[in-house]
Structure formats: structure tokens, C-alpha cells
Structure 1
Amino acid sequence: MPTTPGTAGRRSADERRRALLRTARDVADDLSADAITRDQAGKPPHDEVARLREAGLPAALTPHASDHGADWRTGCTVIRKISTADSSVGEVLARHYVHAWSGRFYASHQHATTLEEESVRERWLWTGAVRTPVPGDDTDGTDLTLRPRDTGYVLSGRRFVETAVAVADQIVLDATCPVTGDVLVVRVPSHARGMTLEPAHDRLGQRVGGAGEVVLDRVAVTPGQVLGRRPHDEESAPPFTALAEPALRLALCHVGLGIVEGALTEARDLSRGGRAYRLPGADPDLFLTYGELASAAQTATAVVDRATEVMARALDPGAQLDAEEPAGVCALVATAETVTSKAALHVTARVLELADAPGLDRFWRNARVLTAHHPAAHRLRSIGEHYLNGSHRAVAAAFH
């Protein structure tokens, strides 16, 4: 079959994808070798990010384009693989990947393209904390203010960031302009004058993620650092922009699946190696337990994979989203998040009943921290309201 530009392009993309997945496996193997030691130390992820940079993962995990980046399915596969070895580093990558999409979510096409090219060229690591509009909240205020001045803006306030606060190159934040009332999404370089970082210490889980607070004292923001407006509510958001928060939540679902897979694999290896409370053989109760846990993991995987496929189609550059589609995507992501959270907490608690081994508790601690801020009952009520009434407002409420 003759080679055409189209088939050559597809072959090149397939080769890049296979190479990226091989790299992810190699990095995961490297991280798993000292995961327990690094979790116990709980230091900011300077060493871990150096490993990611050496492997080229920050540059590879950017939005897909003709000659760089990763499509949504591949990006999530990489996040899950890394999270199986170390969910703290997996969360760093998950938030990096989604925040690297910020240009597409909030900025113009040209602005986004230029930003992504620079991100790949400079091998930027992204993080951030963009707050979701709260349905029914008339104040719509944030803890950050962005005041206009002749050459742009000055940014002041403080914001907690879940990952990579001391090691990221770009931090994406939203802030209120008190003059216009607009909420603007901006990117702030990590070396910006007037910005200080306060890493969080002694976290229960996700200890190597590098969480902490960003403190901004009249930090200069140029017009080029302003990505765009954050809508005041989900119902008024452009369809593509409305996918920003569910995309992040879905990427974190893959971190949760990584925790489940890592916990089950480690417990299974302990059982096979004779280092568990109950050893394999003819123990029907042990088989029942592993059957239950494996089924919970596979169920969560099926739901998350379906949401990932739907999100990938919605994020495709050629997708023409109507006003109704984001609500359906959001409802599916909220379902995936609910199922994954339940599976992660259940599986990581049960494996502690199977074996007493150093470091096995980290999976439960990591799952607790990853899921702590998003109660399942709140999501389920929102999913139910959307199912009954098709309410956009209910779906938006699921992400608070």
C-alpha cells in the first residue's frame, strides 16, 4: 500500500503514542522502586519532577496537535500508569495535563496555539487552581483580585494549589477584576516578582504531590498572560469552556484508578509471596475477597473509560458542541467520579485486612486525600436531578 501524507501522519502519531506509553511504563517502574521511601519523606517533588522532565513527559502531555502533544485517551492512560506506581506524581501529571489545556478552554485559537508551542519548547510544567462558578452565588467573588493598570494588571491574594506549587513553571488562577466585575483566568510564571510559595507539610496522603499556598503581592500580569474570562455560571459558559472542570475531575478519576490498581497489585504480590495474613491455596474466603475487589476495580474502570471516550470526542478539535452536550458529559464524569471514589476507598481499606506490610497504608491515605473534598451524596443528588429534569444547574452543582 503506497504511503500518502495522510497515512504517514497517522503512522507518525501512532508511533508517538506507542513511544509515550513505553516511556510512561519505564517512569512508573522507576517510581515504584522507591515509592514507599519517598512517601515517608513527604518532600516537595523536586526529584520526581526531574525524573518526569528527563523522560520528556511534561512536554509530551500537552493538548494534541499535528506534531506534538497527546490526545485525551493517551494522556489519561499515561496518568493512570504513573498513578499506579505513585499517585502523588500521577496527580501532578493529571493537573499539569489539564491546565495545559487552559488556552483552549479560555483563550482564542491563536493564543492557545502559541502558548502550547511555547510550553512544548520550554518543557513547562503546569499547575493551578481555577474555581468553578457556584450556582446561585450572586457574589461570584474569589480570594484573588486583578486590578487594571496602564501596562496590564496587578494580582493580589492567596490561593491553595493541590500540586507542584514549588516546582511548576506556570500557575493558572482565576481572579476578580473589581473595576469590571469580570473573573479572568490568568497564567503566572513561577518566578514572578511578588509571589511567594508556602508548601504544605505533614499531609495525610498525596504527600509527594507538592501542595501548598501561593501568596501574591501586587504581581504584575501582562495582557498576554490573561487567557480569558471565566463565565459567571455554567449555563452561560461556551460549550467548550464548560468542559474545563469536568476534564480535571476525569483526569483525577484516572489517578484514583491508579491507586486501586496499585493497591490490588501490591496486596496480590504480598499474598503470593507468603507475606499476608491469609495465604493463597484453597482458601475460599480469600478468593471471594479478591474477586470482590477485582470486580469493584473493573466496574470503576469501565465507567471511567466510557466517560473518557465521551470526553475525548467532545475535546476533539473538530467537535461542534451544542449547548446541551456539556451537561451530558458532566453528568457522566460525575458518575465516574462517584464510582471511582467509592472503589478507591473500599479497595484500599480492604487490602489492609489482607496484609500488614510497610507502606501498604499509603494507598488508603492517598485515596482519602484525593476524594475528601467531593462528597458522593452531593454528586448523586446532582446526577439524579439532571437525570430527571435535564438541569444544567444540577450538573454544575455536582462539581462543588
Structure 2
Amino acid sequence: MGVATAPSVPASDSERTGPGRTHWQRVARETADDLATDAVAREQAGKAPFDEVSRLREAGLLTLLVPHEFGGGGADWPTAYAVVREIAAADGAIGQLLACHYFLSWSTRLFAKAARAAEVERRTAAEGWCWGGGLGPQELPLTLTRKAGGYVLDGRQSYATGILVADRLAVRAERADTGQPFAVVVDAARLGVRIDDDADTFGQRLAAGGNVEFDAVPVAAQDVLGSLSADEDVLSPRAALSAPVGRLLSVQLLLGMTEGVLAEARDYSRAGHHAPRHPDWPVGSPQDPQVLTTYGELTVLARSAAALADQALTAVHGGLARGAGLTFEEYAEVSALVAIAEAAASRAAQESTARALDVIGARSVSSRLGFDRFWRNARAHTLYEPVTHRLRDVGDYFLNGAHPPFVLPVRP
């Protein structure tokens, strides 16, 4: 395995229509600052994030990836990744909610026919839809049964991001007659869709996750977007790219959490909020050699993970630019780079969110400060996306040249 030489990058911001990346990064920063002001109180209240979604909608962030000619922001994936990372630094759960929305709403471009994808994106922009659900495999798959004029959808998805606030659900379902998996879009308000919030997770509580049950829900043929089969005879390299695109959202989410906890811990240390431990250097003091070493180690972890994420982003962006010309060999290299970035980001997030508590000391147990939310959010996310699988894929690719499997993220 070499370092991916990604295909040429698409048009720069100056060649695109609509606001540029600088505009959206400023909007994301302002929205993140707004979310940060009451992040602890909102997380502890644990209410469904309708207000937070309204903030994202009003800022124009929900339609960021929708083409400008369809009424959206016309931004590219590098911009969307930067936005997710900025939001996640302030509120990891809302970062996940936004990441899931981006991935699911954009996926219609890869799995649906062009005319249908355009129609969906126009309506997403016009009606301000928020998307939720998930396209990753689950132990008990949803079932699509053919009926006159379309299909019916049955089954239960045990956890899905965003469904408590979603206008549209994108889910994975298997054809009852063939067992082939498909991406399916469902109106969340449709008769037969039952959503509950009994997931009761200890982290990412504001990601609007919950369980959804489908009881003979009618599905029009046009709402069965396309196959999610991992068979290379069915799956094109371009469609396969949806997996690393979605997984790189997870990377940005973890990097955001890492940067967020380090920034808050640094501010706390600088402000002199610490308790006596050593006559010369109190706990958390900017002069404590142990504190300096810890911050140094965590900064190296965060910066290393960010550098690997940048390499993966270049590869993903280049792969998207290749479109139908992308080969499976190129896809495999892109996928491996994203897996490497996932492993580094997972380690950085888990170590930073845990060790930041040690730097702050015993006062970090205060629920009023809310430092625990970073650890809980990062740990909840990494439990759904185990890094062990990604390391195995990278090792198999490096040693044996095996293509990383087509695995869509469970929680993008």
C-alpha cells in the first residue's frame, strides 16, 4: 500500500456558484459559538433537539450540500467536513446529527437516478428537510415486499441518528424475494412509522437518536433509490465511494470533539481554576510540568490525526471528481486512507476526552462544568464504530492487497 495519489481535485471555490468556503466556515463558527453558550445545560436537559435543528436551518447549514441551482448552498464535501468539525467542537451530538443529515440527503446522488436525485434535493432545499436514519447493516434487517404499484416496508431499526427530529428517513432494507439490500426513503410522518426515544444512551444524547418501527409502510417505487449490495458486479466504484465519504464524517466528528475538549480544558487551566496539589504547581497550573507534558502529548495526537484526515479528505475529494471514471483500485486506496484516519481520530478523541479530566483534576467531576460530556460523547460514538475493524482492513490491504470492504457507517 502506498500513499494515495488522489485524482485531480474538483473546481475551486472561485469556479463554483453560491457562497464560498470562507462564508460557510464563518457561518459554522458563529453557529458553533451560539451552541456553545448553552451546550452543558442543553445536554443535561436531554430534550429532542428541535431548537438546535432550527438554528442549523436558519443558518442555511441544512442545505449546504444542495446544488445552488436547486436552492441550496452549493458547497462541496471539504466545506461540509469543515462545518461538521466546527459544530462538533461545540456540541458533539449536534455535530453527529448534522453529519448524518449531510450523508443521507446527499446519498441520493449516488444511489438514485439523476432526475430523482435532483427532485429530492430541490424539495430538501424548498421545504428545509432534516434527514435521519442510517444505511449501515444491522442484525435484523428491514424488509421490502413488492406490492401492486410499489412496496411495503416492515421491521424495526434499533438505533438511528436524527429520527426524533427528521422530516425524511433514509434506511437500508432487503427485498423479501431476493435478499438484496436497497436504500429507501420514507416520510417520517407516514402512517405505519412509529418512532420512540427509548434508546437511552449515556452519550450523544442530543443526536436525536431512537428506535423506529415500520408496520406495512407503503413505499413508492421511486423511493427505492438503489442497491446497497457489496458485490462488485452490482456496485460501481463511484457508488462504493459512499462508504469512505460517510466514514470521513465520523473522522471529522471525532476531531471536533478532540479539539473542543482541549480548547475548553486550556481555557479552564489558563483561568487559574484549580485546587492545591503541590506547593509550587497547583493542579491544572500552566506551570506544572506534568500538565505541560499532557497537553503536549494530546496536541501531538490531535495534530497527527488531523494531518491524516487531510490526506484522506484529499483522496475522497479526488475520487468524487473522477466520478464514473473511478476504478476499484483507486477506491480501495481511498478507503484505506479513510480507515487510517479513523483509527487515528478514534485514539485522539478517546485519549483527549479522558486525560483532559486528569489535567483539570477533581473539579472535573462537577456536572456544572460539563467536561464529562466530551468523554461520554466520544466513547458512545466509538463504541458504535469500533476502530479494531478499520485496523484489520488496513492491515489486510497493506499485507495482502485486499480491498477494504464496502461498509457504510452505522452512525455517520
SS in 1 for 2:75: coil
Instruction: Report deviation, 1:285.
Output: 2.1
Which residue number corresponds to residue 32 of structure 1? 36
Structure 2 CA distance for partners of 1:15 and 1:161, relative to 1, 3 Å = same
| CA deviation after TM superposition for structure 1 residue 235, in Å | 6.9
Match of 1:312 among 317, 340, 346: 317
CA spacing shift, 1:343–1:398, aligned 2, 3 Å: farther
Whether the 8 Å CA contact 2:13–2:21 is kept in 1: the answer is no
Is structure 2 residue 374 aligned with structure 1 residue 363? yes
> What is the aligned partner in structure 2 of residue 59 from structure 1?
63
Give 2:395's match in structure 1, choosing from 359, 384, 391. Answer: 384
Which of 329, 351, 371 is 1:346 aligned to? 351
Kept in 1: contact 2:100–2:161 (CA 8 A): yes
- The AA in structure 2 aligned to 1:44 is A
Matches within 5 A, 1:111-130: 111-130=116-135
Q: What SS class does the counterpart of residue 335 from structure 1 fall into?
A: helix
Residue ranges of structure 1 left out of the alignment (5+ in a row): 1-6, 134-140
What does residue range 87-236 of structure 1 map to in structure 2 within 5 Å? 87-132=92-137, 143-233=141-231, 236=234
Q: Secondary structure at the match of 2:178?
A: coil
Whole-Å separation in 2 of the counterparts to 1:258 and 1:252: 10
Counterpart AA for 1:53: R
Verify the 8 A CA contact 2:230 2:406 in the aligned structure 1: no
**Offset of residue 262 of structure 1:** 0.6
Distance 2:294 2:380 in 1: 25
CA distance in 1, matches of 2:340, 2:60: 33
Distance 1:144 1:395 in 2: 22
Quick check: 2:136–2:408 contact (8 Å CA) kept in 1?
A: no
Q: Is the 8 A contact 1:146 1:153 kept in 2?
A: yes
- The alpha carbon displacement at 1:12 in A equals 6.1
Percent identity between the aligned chains?
41
Q: Which residue of 1 aligns with 2:280?
A: none
Deviations 1:79-118 (A, max 9, x none): 0000000010000010111111221221122222222222
Q: Distance in 2 between matches of 1:344 and 1:144?
A: 33
Match for residue 295 of structure 1 among 300, 303, 307: 300
* Worse-superposed segment, 78-87 or 236-245: 236-245
Compared CA separation, residues 185 and 296, structure 1 to 2 (3 A): same
- For 2:199 and 2:407, the matched residues in 1 are separated by 31
Aligned residue for 2:50?
46
SS of the aligned residue for 1:324 comes to: helix
Q: Aligned pair 1:81/2:79, yes or no?
A: no
Quick check: 106-115 or 40-49, which moved more?
A: 106-115
Counterpart of 1:138 in structure 2 is none
| Paired positions, count | 386
- Report the alpha carbon displacement of residue 224 of structure 1 after superposing the two structures with TM: 1.7
Structure 1 residue 123: deviation in Å?
Answer: 1.5
Q: 1:10 to 1:336 in 2, by over 3 A?
A: same
* Conserved? CA contact 1:107–1:228, under 8 Å: yes
Q: Which moved more, 1:279-288 or 1:301-310?
A: 279-288
4+ runs deviating over 3 angstroms: 11-16, 61-68, 232-236, 279-282, 394-400
Other structure's SS at 2:63 match: helix
CA separation of 1:202 and 1:150: change in aligned 2, threshold 3 A: closer
Q: 1:123 to 1:99 in 2, by over 3 A?
A: same
Partner of 1:282: 287
Counterpart amino acid of residue 210 in structure 2: G
1:45–1:164 contact (8 Å) kept in structure 2? no
Q: Which has the higher contact order (CA 8 A, sep 6+)?
A: 2
Q: Structure 2 counterpart of 1:324, which letter?
A: E
Question: Offset at 1:153?
Answer: 0.6
Instruction: Determine if contact 1:234/1:396 at 8 Å carries over to the other structure.
Output: no
Shift of 1:143: 2.0
Listed one character per residue, the Cα deviations across residues 289-330 of structure 1 (whole Å, up to 9, x for unaligned) are 111111111011111111111111112375620121111111
- How much is the aligned-residue C-alpha RMSD, in angstroms? 2.4
- Provide the C-alpha distance between the structure 1 equivalents of 2:12 and 2:25, rounded to a whole number of angstroms: 20
Separation (CA, whole Å) in 1 of partners of 2:123 and 2:146: 26
Distance change in 2, residues 1:38/1:180 (3 Å): same
> TM-score scaled by structure 2?
0.87
Q: Which residue of 2 aligns with 1:3?
A: none
Distance 2:153 2:50 in 1: 27
Q: Say if 2:31 and 2:55, in contact at 8 Å, map to a contact too.
A: yes
Distance between the aligned counterparts of 1:235 and 1:261, measured in 2?
41
Quote the offset at 1:182 in angstroms.
2.7
